[in-house]
Amino acid sequence: MIILKSDEEIDKMRQAGKLACKILDKVEALIAPGITTEAINELVERHTRENGATSAPLNYKGFPKSVCTSINDVVCHGIPSKKVFLKEGDIINVDVTPILNGYHGDSSRTFLVGNVSKEAKAITECAKKCLELGISAVHDGCRVGDIGFAIQSYAESLGYGVVRDFVGHGIGKTFHEEPQIYHFGKLGKGTRLTKGMVFTIEPMINERDWQCEILEDGWTAVTADGLLSAQFEHTVAIRNDGSVQILTAP
Ligand code: MF3
Ligand code: CO
Ligand code: CO
């Protein structure tokens, strides 16, 4: 069942989304060679609390930290650690989800650590473009497959793989709701998206093959071939006047 939101609820979600954006801006300023992913976790947790929110990832299905930090071949759900240091040339996705006044705002960006290879820069740019293309496909009455098609056709035209194992999702008072937003698909197919729906689009783009594996910790998803992966995520609403609003934009 898809839980439809009123414009009043969407306005509250915009506040949570704005906070997610602000937190990611803070993270961006911190990112540098030599910092630990635990330092990112501390900054996210502190900034979340200072703004009267809580971190949805913390203890979510047993996830041990307040944010996901996914470096290079880590596709998603990387766990912050004081043993993991950023180094020049890394790419790192940071995925934050504050809960503010009962509503979730879910967003992630991939950051470049110092100077990176042209491959690392290119896949990061592709993932960002994929999110933009996915959002551009959203309108009242569109199908989930329209979003997936926009993303998949672009990414594959550049030789990249689109991750199948993890998808975008409805969001609201709960972190993950229906519908599932596939980042691959066919035009005109899948669930119809209508007024009052709020969901994330969060394409994970792999350098070559889309296959993933989960590490022993039960969370960290990595590319099966050990190549790079990049991701960007926004929370998007179709308001009750039919307009599309990016809730996690500045
Ligand atoms: N923020 C992720 C998403 O985009 C979910 C992370 S779940 C966690 O849906 F438990 F790993 F935090
Ligand atoms: Co997220
Ligand atoms: Co999400």
Tell me the CATH number at 102. 3.90.230.10
The sheet carrying 68-71 orders its strands as 68-71, 91-96, 107-112
Does a structural domain hold residue 1?
A: no
pLDDT for position 23 = 99
145/142 Cα distance (integer angstroms): 8
Domain annotation covers residue 175 = yes
Q: Which residue owns the Cα nearest ligand 1 atom 7?
A: 57
Q: What is the pLDDT of residue 79?
A: 99
Does residue 12 sit within a domain?
Answer: yes
Give the pLDDT of residue 34.
98
Quick one: which atom of ligand 1 is closest to the CA of 65? 12
CB of 177 sitting under 6 A from ligand 1? no
Which domain, by its residues, includes 89? 7-246
Query: What residue has token string 């299905």?
Result: 61
How would you label 48-75 residue by residue, b for 16+ Cβ within 10 Å and e otherwise?
Answer: beeeebebbbbeeeebebbbbbbbbbbb
The reported pLDDT for the residue numbered 197 is: 99
State mean pLDDT over 108-118.
98
Question: What 3 state SS string does the chain have?
Answer: CCCCCCHHHHHHHHHHHHHHHHHHHHHHHHCCCCCEHHHHHHHHHHHHHHCCCEECCCCHHHCCCCCEEEECCEEECCCCCCCCECCCCCEEEEEECEEECCEECCEEEEEECCCCCHHHHHHHHHHHHHHHHHHHCCCCCCEHHHHHHHHHHHHHHCCCEECCCCCEEECCCCCCEEEEECCCCCCCCCCECCCCCEEEECCEEECCCCCEEECCCCCCEEECCCCCEEECEEEEEECCCCCEEECCCC
Domain-embedded: residue 78:
yes
Residue 75 lies in a domain: yes
List pLDDT tens digits, range 192-213. Answer: 999 999 999 999 999 999 999 9
Residues with CB under 5 A from ligand 3 (ion): 106, 200, 202
pLDDT-derived band at 8 (thresholds 50, 70, 90) equals very high
Given this model, what pLDDT does residue 107 score?
A: 99
pLDDT (tens digit per residue) in 206-242: 999 999 999 999 999 999 999 999 999 999 999 999 9
Ligand 1 in reach of 97 Cβ (< 6 A): yes
Percent of the residues in the chain that have a pLDDT greater than 70, as a whole number: 100
Contacts of 245 (CB under 8 A, 6+ apart): 10, 14, 236, 237, 239
Nearest CA to ligand 1 atom 8: 57
Q: pLDDT tens-digit profile of 138-165?
A: 999 999 999 999 999 999 999 999 999 9
Q: How far is the CA of 214 from the centre of ligand 3 (A)?
A: 18
pLDDT digits (tens, 9 = 90+) for 66-94: 999 999 999 999 999 999 999 999 999 99
Residue 135 lies in a domain: yes
Does 144 contact ligand 1 (Cβ within 6 A)? Answer: no
Q: What's the pLDDT at 135?
A: 99
Q: Compute, in angstroms, the gap from residue 41 CA to the centroid of ligand 1.
A: 14
pLDDT score at 167: 98
Q: How many domains does the chain have?
A: 1
CA dihedral for 59, 26, 233, 110, sign (positive or negative): negative
Q: What is the pLDDT of residue 205?
A: 99
Tell me which residue has its CA closest to atom 4 in ligand 1.
106
